[in-house]
Amino acid sequence: MAKKNDTIFAELFAKAYVNNGRIIGRAYNEVNVILGKNKLRPALSGRAGSKLMESELVKDFIEEEKVKLEAIMDKDYKKERQLIIDAMWKTYNKAMEEQPSFDRNGKKMDKYDVNSISGANKSLELLGKTSGLLVEKNVVSNISKSEVNNVIEVEIV
């Protein structure tokens, strides 16, 4: 079982990590300052924080903090999110309205065209992302660089 001091440090570290942009070294030093200890150099605090991140206790505290932060964000931005969703529905409906077609002489035809299919599709896409139904996938590639005779070669793997 973890010591009480270790548990307190882990909990404070998790809070600092989640609330300060998930920067390990900064979170570690912030906890040191809170507990009255000296700050470490960035490299050392990063290393010590990385070692601390391997702990299951810290991982559990981080998950708890993420859930708390998401609940606060949902509460704070619920009204704004609803306004955005309503505006996107209006945009979608406007884009899907039928408009009369005219011939080259300007005479109205019996045919009707949709205002903007691409606008309607974009509005639906943004609706899905805002409401959480669609999630964007980012492709990450490993890039390796090598320099030979002052010429830099970049290879995307």
Q: 88 with 117, same domain?
A: yes
Domain that holds residue 58: 4-75
Q: 50 with 89, same domain?
A: no
Model pLDDT, residue 26: 87
pTM (2 decimals)? 0.45
Model pLDDT, residue 157: 47
Structure tokens at 140: 């990450």
Residue at which a domain ends, from 23, 57, 75: 75
Q: 24 with 56, same domain?
A: yes
Residue at which a domain ends, from 12, 46, 75: 75
Mean per-residue pLDDT pooled into runs of 10, the chain (157 residues): 72 84 84 86 84 86 85 78 82 78 81 71 80 63 51 55
Q: 127 with 55, same domain?
A: no
Structure tokens at 146: 């090598």
Q: 109 with 142, same domain?
A: yes
Q: Give how many domains the chain has, as a whole number.
A: 2
Q: 9 with 71, same domain?
A: yes
Sign of the torsion angle spanned by Cα atoms 127, 128, 133, 138: negative
Model pLDDT, residue 1: 41
The residues near 38 (Cβ < 8 Å, ≥ 6 apart) are 32
Q: Which residues pair with 144 in a beta bridge?
A: 155
Q: 66 with 140, same domain?
A: no
Residue at which a domain ends, from 75, 92, 110: 75
Q: 143 with 97, same domain?
A: yes
Q: 66 with 110, same domain?
A: no
